[in-house]
Amino acid sequence: MNKEEIQEWFKGLQDDICSKLEQTDRKGKFKEDLWDRPEGGGGRTRVINDGAIIEKGGVNFSAVHGPTPDKILEALKIDQADFFATGVSIVMHPHSPMVPIIHMNVRYFEMSNGVSWFGGGIDLTPHYVVDADARYFHEQLKTCCARHDESYYSQFKQWADDYFYIKHRKETRGVGGIFFDRLSANEKFSLEDRWAFVKDVGSQFAPIYTHLMSKNKALPFTDKHKQWQYLRRGRYAEFNLVWDKGTKFGLDTDGRTESILMSLPPQANWEYNHIPETGSDEQKTLDLLKKGIDW
């Protein structure tokens, strides 16, 4: 296993996910935008717009390298070294408020001083929380984690609850999922073990999300549901712009801005001090945007 093999696998993952999403959507097609990073490397941004189910989405691959920016060196508390980073990042915003937003990122980071690790995560952000969908999502992730280590799911679920948390709103972004970072080799796991896990996580995306797309795409909704969707998209944008480390890393390393901000929804609303009606479906969803729920 080396960085070239990892990079090629991520490219194949991007190809497979785009193909499966197009097959399920049946209308939308991904458009590819190839880009180069002046300091080293580049990527393939693939965006889908105005599909039958997906309103806007992106499946991005990148592999960038060069001198490590000072901000990252300071954060890692290490001396100057070159870096290499590659991965796939995905966000899907559906037309229907009954179909959830989903995000996934799987990545590899390596430095010229010998430091290397894997990171990633996958989380689900329903506009309306549906218990059955949340349970299905978490069951798939728990099964995936268990194939590699029994401690992974509980550890990475807690990490996701803490990471995908909108601190200034005191609510989780959605129903969570799993999140992990700086998974390196140690006494228990080799780097190859970590890589096997990351590949398994990446392979979960297409079957999970195409199932949720197909299950919920035909559910009826009203303008009230759409207005709530726009408000929830606003919360999603707040997290990505204020708290998301991936957004900050991309901007700090002079990544391609259009590709980094692909995760933002096509339309979002902010209403001053919006308070849902007591007992409404909207209020029930807010009540479930909490850490530590055992789905």
Determine contact, residues 200/106, Cβ cutoff 8 Å: no
CB 25 within 8 A of CB 209: no
CB atoms within 10 A of CB 277: 8
Other beta carbons within 10 angstroms of residue 19's beta carbon come to 12
Candidates 65, 93, 103, 138; catalytic one: 103
Q: Considering only CA atoms, which of 236, 46, 22 is closest in space to residue 127?
A: 236
Sheet of 101-111, strand order: 31-36, 41-49, 54-67, 82-94, 101-111, 116-125, 176-183
What's the N-to-C CA distance of the chain in angstroms? 35
Active site residue 103: yes
Beta bridge partners of 110: 84, 116
Q: Which residues are catalytic?
A: 103
